[in-house]
């Protein structure tokens, strides 16, 4: 397939713009990209001047869950904090109760509704975490649902086991026994069954300490799984530094990250995943240290964090906008954050850029320039999606 009459944002070193571009796709991969005038011959598909970017990557979601937490949204707006709700048995624990009670088929149906919102905006790879089951069987159920979503829709699903998300109520008086379950039983199981591609944890005062997180990471590494971490979201515990010491793929949230943490991430090649949806919903004041991350050349990704509590955000385009308006990213950084750097946050080197050898996952937009994507709120300019070299949505003309 030879696509012509495109403006291509290749994401090679920034936007990597090619005007009047052509892209040759062979066997599901990009075979060639460049100026149309230099393109190889053959039958061409005229794309009518559309903008083309890599398919978008949402590298941090919790989109499989039961129930909903609109009641907590109302509570928070009467002045109760996210941490107070969590300590009173709501928050993550409320979603755990609902998720344990929902059959797998029902979880698939509700998750597909959420996933479809992301796909309608050009997402071709999505990361999905467990962490609302906490017991072995419900965690396995969540990861199995995530895998099924990838069979039901034209999207690559990457899974993370997030057993260390919250302490389940049945272990209230025995934290060590819960970590035994996570490390000695569930990690070996989900690694062996290939249900999880990585292991995540929530390192925070209301969740797990640095020492507890270290144990989880050691078990993950022992079973060959890469790690990532919810770190420095509400306070600075030094989680990102620990994550970097395990060569983590990413440290996520990181509003309270300090210079030490930035330097450790830079040295380890750990990606900074910013989640402006959670910052927005929780009305946080502490901004992530963007200037220090830029200075240290830490790659920055952004993601929806789609979840029922801190970020019921179903739009990666809106997330790009929030990253610009709330955190001060440039629209170019925002686009890198949902393509090249998001792929890197998942350890995927075969996507996120339009370059020879990369997977032919492309999003085509009714837009003149790539900066148009982060600019509006509530406008969806997507026209077509190509996945593995085949038209998966919309039309090319």
Q: How far is Cα 345 from Cα 160, in angstroms, rounded to an integer? A: 12
| Least distance CB 392 / Fe ion (angstroms) | 27
* HSE-CB of 329 using CA atoms within 13 angstroms: 29
The correct pick among 288, 308, 352, 389 for binding ligand NIG (CB under 6 A) is 308
Classify strands 2-9 and 390-394 as parallel, antiparallel or unpaired: unpaired
The correct pick among 15, 178, 202, 217 for binding ligand NIG (CB under 6 A) is 202
Q: Is 55 in the site for ligand NIG (CB under 6 A)?
A: no
| Least distance CB 278 / ligand NIG (angstroms) | 4
8 A C-beta contact, residue 18 and residue 369 = no
Q: How many CB atoms lie within 10 A of CB 289?
A: 21
Residues in contact with ligand NIG, total (CB under 6 A)?
Answer: 14
Residue 250 binding: pick among Fe ion, ligand NIG, none (C-beta 5-8 Å cut-off by kind): none
Number of helices followed by number of strands (H, E) in the chain: 15, 15
HEC string of 147-180 equals HHHHHHCCCEEEEEEEEECCCCHHHCCCHHHHHH
The correct pick among 91, 168, 337, 352 for binding ligand NIG (CB under 6 A) is 91
Q: How far is Cα 12 from Cα 353, in angstroms, rounded to an integer? A: 6
Q: How far is Cα 131 from Cα 138, in angstroms, rounded to an integer? A: 9
The correct pick among 102, 156, 212, 305 for binding ligand NIG (CB under 6 A) is 305
Closer CB to ligand NIG, 129 or 351, in the complex? 129
Q: Which residues of 144-169 are buried (b: 16+ CB within 10 A; e: fewer)?
A: bbbbbbbeebbbbbbbbbbbbbbbbe
- Taking residues 60 to 79 in sequence order and writing x for each that binds ligand NIG by CB under 6 A, - otherwise, the string is --x-----------------
Cα R_g (the chain), whole angstroms: 21
Residue 114 binding: pick among ligand NIG, Fe ion, none (C-beta 5-8 Å cut-off by kind): none
Q: Is 314 in the site for ligand NIG (CB under 6 A)?
A: no
Closer CB to ligand NIG, 101 or 397, in the complex? 101
Alpha helices by DSSP H, listed for the chain, are 70-76, 82-87, 92-101, 104-119, 136-152, 175-180, 187-192, 210-222, 239-245, 259-268, 276-281, 290-295, 316-327, 331-337, 340-345
Q: Is 130 in the site for ligand NIG (CB under 6 A)?
A: no
| Least distance CB 75 / Fe ion (angstroms) | 20
Q: Is 114 in the site for ligand NIG (CB under 6 A)?
A: no
The correct pick among 307, 315, 319, 341 for binding ligand NIG (CB under 6 A) is 307
| Least distance CB 182 / ligand NIG (angstroms) | 16
Q: How far is Cα 384 from Cα 270, in angstroms, rounded to an integer? A: 32
330 φ/ψ sector (left φ>0, alpha ψ -120 to 50, else beta): beta
8 A C-beta contact, residue 207 and residue 165 = yes
Residue 226 binding: pick among Fe ion, ligand NIG, none (C-beta 5-8 Å cut-off by kind): none
DSSP conformation class of 227: B
* Contact stretch for ligand NIG (CB under 6 A) within 135-143, 149-157, 302-310, 345-353: 302-310
Residues that bind Fe ion (CB under 5 A): 305
Closer CB to ligand NIG, 168 or 309, in the complex? 309
Name residues contacting ligand NIG, limited to 215-234 (CB under 6 A): 230, 233
| Least distance CB 354 / ligand NIG (angstroms) | 30
Residue 91 binding: pick among ligand NIG, Fe ion, none (C-beta 5-8 Å cut-off by kind): ligand NIG
Binding positions for ligand NIG, rule: CB under 6 A: 62, 91-92, 95, 202, 230, 233, 278, 305, 307-311
């Amino acid at each position: 397939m030879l696509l012509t009459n495109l403006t291509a944002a290749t994401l090679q070193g920034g936007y990597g713009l090619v005007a009047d571009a052509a892209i040759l796709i062979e066997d599901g991969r990009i075979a060639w990209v460049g100026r149309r005038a230099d393109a190889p011959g053959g039958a061409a598909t005229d794309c009518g001047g559309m903008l083309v970017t890599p398919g978008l990557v949402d590298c941090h979601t919790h989109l499989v869950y039961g129930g909903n937490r609109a009641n907590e949204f109302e509570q928070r707006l009467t002045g109760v904090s996210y941490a107070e709700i969590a300590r009173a048995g709501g928050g993550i624990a409320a979603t755990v109760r609902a998720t344990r009670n929902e059959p797998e088929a029902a979880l698939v149906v509700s998750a597909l509704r959420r996933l479809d919102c992301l796909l309608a905006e050009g997402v071709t790879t999505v990361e999905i975490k467990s962490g609302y089951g906490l017991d072995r069987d419900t965690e396995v159920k969540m990861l199995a649902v995530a895998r099924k979503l990838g069979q039901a829709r034209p999207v690559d699903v990457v899974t993370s086991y997030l057993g260390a998300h919250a302490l389940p109520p049945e272990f209230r008086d025995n934290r060590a026994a819960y970590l035994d379950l996570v490390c000695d039983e569930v990690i070996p199981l989900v690694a062996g069954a290939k249900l999880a591609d990585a292991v995540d944890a929530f390192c925070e005062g209301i969740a797990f300490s640095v020492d507890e997180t270290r144990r989880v990471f050691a078990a993950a590494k022992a079973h060959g799984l890469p790690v990532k971490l919810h770190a420095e979201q509400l306070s600075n515990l030094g989680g990102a530094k620990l994550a970097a010491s395990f060569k983590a793929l990413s440290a996520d949230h990181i509003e309270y990250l300090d210079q030490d943490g930035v330097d450790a991430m830079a040295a380890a090649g750990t990606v900074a995943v910013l989640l402006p949806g959670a910052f927005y919903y929780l009305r946080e004041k502490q901004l992530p240290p963007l200037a220090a991350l830029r200075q240290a050349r830490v790659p920055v990704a952004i993601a929806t964090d789609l979840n029922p509590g801190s970020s019921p955000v179903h739009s990666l385009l809106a997330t790009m906008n929030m990253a610009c308006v709330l955190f001060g990213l440039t629209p170019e950084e925002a686009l890198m954050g949902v393509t090249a750097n998001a792929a890197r946050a998942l350890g995927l080197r075969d996507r996120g850029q339009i370059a020879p050898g990369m997977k032919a996952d492309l999003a085509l937009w009714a837009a003149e320039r790539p900066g148009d994507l982060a600019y509006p709120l509530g406008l969806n300019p997507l026209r077509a999606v190509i996945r593995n070299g085949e038209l998966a949505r919309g039309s090319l003309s």
